[in-house]
Chains A and B, each alone.
Chain A
Amino acid sequence: MILDNKIPEGPLADKWTNYKAKVPLVSPSNKRRLEVIIIGTGLAGASAAASLAEMGYKVKAFCFQDSPRRAHSIAAQGGINAAKNYQNDGDSVYRLFYDTIKGGDYRSREANVYRLAEVSSSIIDQCVAQGVPFAREYGGTLDNRSFGGVQVSRTFYARGQTGQQLLLGAYSALSRQISKGNVQMFNRHEMLDIVKIEGKARGVIVRNLITGEYQRHFGHAVVLATGGYGNVYYLSTNAMGSNVTASWRAHKKGAMFANPCYTQIHPTCIPVSGEYQSKLTLMSESLRNDGRIWVPRKKGDNRAGIDIPEEDRDYYLERRYPAFGNLVPRDVASRAAKERCDAGYGVGSTGLAVYLDFEDAIKRLGKDVVSSRYGNLFEMYEKITGENPYKMPMRIFPAVHYTMGGLWVDYDLMTTVPGLYAIGECNFSDHGANRLGASALMQGLADGYFVLPYTLGKYLSEDIRTPAISTDHEEFEKAEKKTKDQVKRLLENNGNRSVESYHRELGKIVWDYCGMSRNKKELKSAIEEIKVIKNDFWNNVLVPGEDNVINPELTKAGRVADFIELGELMMRDALARDESCGGHFREEHQTGEGEAMRDDAKFAFTSAWEFNSENKDPILNKEVLEFENVQLTQRSYK
C-alpha cells in the first residue's frame, strides 16, 4: 500500500498557513448535523472535544475513567514547550522545530514538526486564558525553565504539576461544552471496536464498565485520543488503566501502526522494590541539574551509599560524557545506567539501581536551597521508599515512560482508515525516535486545540450530505457480535492463570528484549515466546465474574490480550529496524564507545505496519522521510 502523507506544497514555513487558508469549511448549519466521536479525554481528547463542540459539531466523548479529569496527562510534571521567546534568548519556531527533529534522532516528519512548533505559542495563550496558574515572575509575566537537549529556556510550567493544570484547563473547557449540551460525555465507557461502513470509520462499539451494556454509537468521524502503550511492559510510569485496546482494535480494522519499537525510557525513576510492584514512579528530570549519578567502583560493594568514600565512587556519566555530564539526553542516561548494572555495579537489594546523590549540592548550595528546588520530589521519594534523600543518596533506575510509536497518521492526523483520526500520544507523528522533555503536553494540546479542528473540517466538508447512519446497520451488528464473542470466550475459558500473571510475563519479555537495548537473536526468540504466551493466554486464562457488572478482571483481560499482540509487533519492528536511533538501540549498531549509530541510507523512513490477518505476519510499509530543511548529523554529547 502506498502511504500518502498529504504534506501540503510550498516552503516549510508556509505550509500550515496555506493549508488553513485553503482548507474547505463547513457551514454552521451543517456542523450541527455532523457527529464526531472522540475516544479518550486526556489533553488531546478533551481539547479536541471542547474545540469541535465550540465550533458547532455534535460531539460524543468517551473515557474509561470515572471522570474526564483523571486521564493520565494529569501526571506530567515538568512543563510544556513553546517558542515564545519571552526570555529573549534567541528562540524561534525554527529552533523549536530543529531541536525536536534533532532530539527525535531524525526520524520524524519535517512538516508535522514545524506545524507543532508553529502552534506551540497559541497553546500557552489559550491555557492562560482558561485560568491555568502558570508560574510567574515577580513582575507578573510568565516564567520559563530550561529542559534537557536544548540551549534556550522555553518551558512553561506550573510547579511540578503542569500536566494536571493543563488537563484541568482542557477539562474545564470540555465541562463548559457538556453543560451547553454540545458534548455528550460518557464516563466509565471503554471503546472495543471501530465500525467501518463502506471503508470509512462510521462509529464505535463501547462497553459501559458499570453495567456491562454494549452500545453502538454513530459518528461521521471517529477520533482516537487514547494515549500511549507503555503498559505493554507491565511496569511503566503509565497509569494502571492506560492501554492500547482502542488503537489496537483500530489497527486490526485497517489503521497502520507506526514505529511501535520507539519507546522512551526515562532515567530517573524510583527502582523496583519487589515482585508485587504494580507501577513505577517517575521523578522529574530536573533532579539531574544538581544531583550526581554514580555507582561503586568495586563490584558487589555492599556498603551503604553514604559510607562509600569518594575514591571508591564512579561518576560514570561525568566520566563518559564530560561535556554534558549528568545532563545527557534521556536515552543516553538510561542506557548508561543499564550498562553499569548489567556489568554488576548496580546497587540496592536487586542490583538494579544507581545512586543519584545530592551530597555535593547540599554542601555547595545549602540544604535550604536544595529543598526549595527539589523539596516535593524528595518528599515523594521518602513517601515511597521510606528513606531520607537529604541524608543518603537516592536510588534510581530507568523506566518506560512514553511511546513515540503509535497509529500512523498523515498531515491531517488521519489514519489509513478514512474518517478515523488519531491525536496525542496515540499517534506516531512528531517525536521521531525520541521525545524531548516537555514536548508531550505540547503535542497533545496542539493536536486537540489547533490542528484537528481544521483538518477534520476538510474531511467533513465532503461528508455534509451523509445522513446519520442507523446503528442497526449490519456493520454495527457484526462489530458488536464480534466484541461480545471475545468477552464470552474470556469469561467461559475457565482456565487456571490470572490475567495479571500473563501481563507480568509479557512485560518481562518486552522489557528484556525490547527495552533499553535490543539485538537480533533475542528479538527473534521473543517473537516465538510471545506467540507461546498468546496461545497459553487464550487456553488457560482465568477471568472470574460476569459481563453485566463492574468486572475489572474482565476489562484487564481484554487489554492484556491486545498488549500481547502489540508486544509481538514491537519485536518485529525492532528486528526490522536494523540500526540504532533515539530510544531504539540495537547492540549490533554502536560505535566503539557504545553510542547509538544510525543508518540514514537504509532507515530514514517510518515503519507503518499493516495488519494482515490473525494468522499471517503483518506487512511493513515504509513512508520515506525527506529532509529538505535540516541536515542529518550524528548526535554527540561527549
Chain B
Amino acid sequence: MEELNLKLKIWRQPGPNQKGDFVAYKVNGLNTHMSFLEMLDVLNEQLVNLGQDPVAFDHDCREGICGMCSMVINGKPHGPQKGTTTCQLHMRHFNNGDTITIEPWRAKPFPVLKDLIVDRSSFDRIIQAGGYVSVNTGSAPDGNSIPIGKEIAEDAFDAAACIGCGACVAACKNASASLFVSAKVSQLALLPQGQPEREERVVKMVSKMDEEGFGHCTNTGACEAECPKEISLEYIRKLNWEYHRSNIKG
C-alpha cells in the first residue's frame, strides 16, 4: 500500500477576535485509504502528544450528511472531489509530497470561532425567518389526502437534499447564500403544503439573507460546482422568480 508524506499549511486562529495565520505541519506515513479528516486526526494526535493545541475543526457524522465539516482545501470548499464532503474525501486523491493548504469558510456572516471552525448560525436564522410550513403538531390531515405527483416530489427532494454546510457561500466570490436559500424556498414552493405562505416566505428569507450580510448572486455557478449535494442552479432561478412573483402578487 502506498504511503503518503504531506506538508500542510493550516489556518490557525486562537479565537474570534484574535489574529490568525498559516502554520506549516508535516505528516508522514499516511495511508491512502484514510479520509481527509482521519489525516487531520493523525496530525492532532501528534500535536496532543507534544502537549500542543490540536487543530480545531467541525465534523460530526463523517458520512457526508450532517453538513458540519467545513474546510477549504487548496482553494476548494470540501476539496477537489466533486459532489463530496470533506469527511468523504479520501487521501488517495492526493500525491506523496503534496502541500495542502487548509482554510476555514471565509464570509462575513460566517465569522471564524477558532482555527477552521466558523459560526454558521446565520443559516439557522434564515430558516427561522420563514423556512417552514406553519403546521402545529396534531393538526395534519391524512398523508394521502394531498396527492403530489412523483416528478414534483422528486424535484422538491432534489432541493431538500441541501445539508446546510455552507460550501456554496464559501465557494461564491460574493459570499452569497443564494443556493442555500433557494433550496428551501424551492422545496416548499414546489409542494402544495408550502402554498399558503409561499409569497411571505421568500420575501422574509431573502431579506434575512441580506440582513445577515451575505453578498449577492452573480450567477457564476461556483456554488453548484462545489456543492457536495450538487444542488442545481435551477433553484436560484426559481428563487429569483418566486421573489419577483411575490412582489407582483403583493
Q: What A residues does B143 contact at CB under 8 A?
A: 84, 124-125, 127-128, 134, 142
B-facing mask of A275-305, CB < 8 A → 1, else 0?
A: 0111101100000000000000000000000
A435 within 8 A of B: no
Q: Is the CB of A135 within 8 A of B153?
A: yes
B248 within 8 A of A: no
A276 touches which one: B31, B123, B147, B164 (CB < 8 A)?
A: B31
B-facing mask of A149-168, CB < 8 A → 1, else 0?
A: 00000000011010111001
A399 to chain B, nearest CB (A): 12
B209 within 8 A of A: no
Q: Is the CB of B187 within 8 A of A133?
A: yes
CA A139 to CA B147, docked complex, whole Å? 7
CA A125 to CA B90, docked complex, whole Å? 40
Q: What B residues does A75 contact at CB under 8 A?
A: 61, 63, 65-66
**8 A Cβ contacts from A99-130 to B:** 122, 124-130
Q: Is the CB of A544 within 8 A of B129?
A: no
| A67 with B164, Cβ < 8 A, contacts A175-B128, A276-B42 known | yes
B54 touches which one: A50, A136, A552 (CB < 8 A)?
A: A552
CA A282 to CA B63, docked complex, whole Å? 9
A-facing mask of B208-233, CB < 8 A → 1, else 0?
A: 00000000000000000000000000
Q: Which of B33-41, B71-79, B167-175, B235-243 contacts A (4 or more CB under 8 A)?
A: B33-41
**8 A Cβ contacts from B54-87 to A:** 54, 56, 58-68, 81, 84
Q: Is the CB of B61 within 8 A of A126?
A: no
A178 within 8 A of B: yes
CA A74 to CA B48, docked complex, whole Å? 31
B58 to chain A, nearest CB (A): 6
A-facing mask of B11-55, CB < 8 A → 1, else 0?
A: 000110000000000000001111101100110010111011110
A318 within 8 A of B: no
| A142 with B45, Cβ < 8 A, contacts A65-B60, A67-B121, A134-B153 known | no
Interchain residue pairs A-B with the least CB separation, the first 6: A140-B147, A129-B140, A172-B132, A179-B128, A133-B157, A125-B140
Q: Is the CB of A550 within 8 A of B66?
A: no
CA A68 to CA B143, docked complex, whole Å? 26
Centre residue among A47, A70, A164, A544 by max chain B CB count within 10 A: A70
How many A residues have CB within 8 A of the partner chain?
Answer: 84
Q: Is the CB of B67 within 8 A of A69?
A: yes
Q: What A residues does B90 contact at CB under 8 A?
A: 383-384, 386
B144 within 8 A of A: yes
A47 to chain B, nearest CB (A): 8
A591 within 8 A of B: no
Q: Is the CB of B193 within 8 A of A131?
A: yes
B250 within 8 A of A: no
Q: Is the CB of A70 within 8 A of B48?
A: no
A201 within 8 A of B: no
A51 within 8 A of B: yes
CA A125 to CA B134, docked complex, whole Å? 14
B97 to chain A, nearest CB (A): 20
Question: How many A-B contacts at CB < 8 Å in the complex?
Answer: 220
- Interface residues of chain B, those whose CB is within 8 Å of chain A, are 14-15, 31-35, 37-38, 41-42, 45, 47-49, 51-54, 56, 58-68, 81, 84, 88, 90, 92, 113-114, 117, 119-121, 123-124, 127-129, 131-144, 146-150, 153-154, 156-157, 160-161, 163-164, 187-188, 191, 193-194
A247 to chain B, nearest CB (A): 18
- Interface residues of chain A, those whose CB is within 8 Å of chain B, are 47, 50-51, 54, 65-72, 74-75, 84, 86, 122, 124-142, 158-159, 161, 163-165, 168, 171-173, 175-176, 178-179, 185, 187, 210, 237, 239-241, 273-274, 276-279, 281-282, 380, 383-386, 449-450, 453, 498-501, 542, 544-545, 549-550, 552-553
Centre residue among A126, A163, A179, A501 by max chain B CB count within 10 A: A179
| A136 with B150, Cβ < 8 A, contacts A75-B61, A550-B113 known | yes
Q: Would you give 11 A-B contacts (Cβ < 8 Å), ordered by A?
A: A68-B124, A74-B66, A126-B138, A131-B193, A131-B194, A173-B135, A240-B59, A544-B52, A544-B53, A544-B54, A549-B14
Q: Is the CB of A136 within 8 A of B149?
A: yes
Q: What A residues does B135 contact at CB under 8 A?
A: 126, 129-130, 173
Q: What B residues does A158 contact at CB under 8 A?
A: 157, 160
Q: What B residues does A178 contact at CB under 8 A?
A: 124, 128
Q: What B residues does A499 contact at CB under 8 A?
A: 48
Q: What A residues does B133 contact at CB under 8 A?
A: 129-131, 172
Q: Is the CB of B127 within 8 A of A171?
A: yes
Q: Is the CB of B59 within 8 A of A131?
A: no
CA A530 to CA B230, docked complex, whole Å? 46
CA A282 to CA B150, docked complex, whole Å? 28
CA A210 to CA B129, docked complex, whole Å? 25
CA A124 to CA B64, docked complex, whole Å? 26
CA A221 to CA B81, docked complex, whole Å? 47
CA A122 to CA B45, docked complex, whole Å? 48
CA A69 to CA B126, docked complex, whole Å? 13
Q: Is the CB of B60 within 8 A of A50?
A: no
Q: Is the CB of A276 within 8 A of B60?
A: no
Q: What B residues does A161 contact at CB under 8 A?
A: 65, 161
CA A72 to CA B15, docked complex, whole Å? 27
7 additional contacts, CB 8 Å, given A67-B164, A125-B141, A279-B63? A133-B154, A164-B65, A165-B160, A172-B133, A239-B61, A273-B31, A498-B45
